[in-house]
């Protein structure tokens, strides 16, 4: 079993009968969703909120009962992946372009678990490009603003055209190298008109399940 599957399936141990569960997006969260689907087939009763259309389609195919975010009310637990996690539990997410829905679900969840392989644990965030979701109108001006800030922005292109999120927005990747102060960067980016959300997730996660080829460890935060 590969590390992503180990971490993804371990997180499902925290899912209990009757919960409303947020289902994350990405290659590690995929294994969590698959495992939850197995448990549902064996009688587990839960409701789930999905963070992307891709996750929704997977969950439906597995027979997991899905509710819309507007009907969710209380979300007990969300399981999702992460692209980087630092020692304070700050993270970068959004490799798959689902960062807006992921953050809405996460901040409305009582508990958040991230599932990662060992390579995602870093001393400081920033080597992984930080995704920023922007509206199409004025996105070139947002790009220019990021250039002036020295953030090395690159518009995400998919098959020779602008990549679009499930909300129809664009993604700009910021190649920062090192993020010294995630909280300050959070504030700076959100002040720019045209920015919808970014992939910095500071102070949100409660547990990070980290797997490698040999073992699993759990990091506890907050």
Report, as residue numbers or ranges, the catalytic residues: 102
Instruction: Give me the residue label for tokens 């992984």.
Output: 128
Separation of alpha carbons 7 and 217, rounded Å: 9
Separation of alpha carbons 214 and 161, rounded Å: 41
User: Could you tell me which residues come within 8 angstroms of residue 148 by beta carbon, excluding any fewer than 6 positions away?
Assistant: none
Separation of alpha carbons 133 and 94, rounded Å: 9
Angle at 48 between CA 216 and CA 211, to 5 degrees: 10
Residue in 180, 181, 123, 133 with CA at minimum distance from that of residue 153: 133
Separation of alpha carbons 211 and 115, rounded Å: 8
């Amino acid at each position: 079993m590969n590390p992503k599957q180990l971490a993804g399936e371990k997180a499902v141990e925290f899912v209990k009968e009757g919960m409303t569960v947020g289902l994350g997006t990405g290659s590690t969260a995929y294994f969590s969703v698959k495992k939850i689907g197995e448990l549902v087939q064996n009688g587990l009763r839960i409701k789930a909120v999905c963070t992307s259309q891709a996750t929704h389609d997977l969950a439906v195919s597995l027979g997991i009962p899905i509710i819309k975010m507007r009907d969710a009310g209380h979300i007990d637990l969300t399981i999702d992946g992460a692209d980087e996690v630092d020692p304070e539990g700050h993270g970068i997410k959004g490799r798959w372009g689902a960062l807006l829905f992921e953050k809405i679900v996460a901040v409305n969840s009582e508990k958040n678990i991230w599932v990662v392989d060992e390579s995602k644990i870093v001393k400081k965030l920033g080597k992984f490009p930080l995704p920023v979701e922007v509206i199409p109108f004025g996105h070139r001006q947002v790009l220019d603003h990021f250039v002036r800030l020295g953030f090395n922005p690159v518009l995400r292109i998919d098959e020779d055209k602008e990549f679009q999120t499930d909300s129809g927005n664009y993604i700009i990747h910021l190649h920062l190298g090192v993020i010294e102060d995630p909280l300050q960067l959070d504030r700076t980016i959100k002040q720019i008109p045209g920015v919808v959300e970014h992939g910095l997730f500071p102070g949100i996660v409660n547990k990070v399940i980290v797997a490698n080829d040999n073992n699993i460890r759990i990091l506890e935060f907050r």
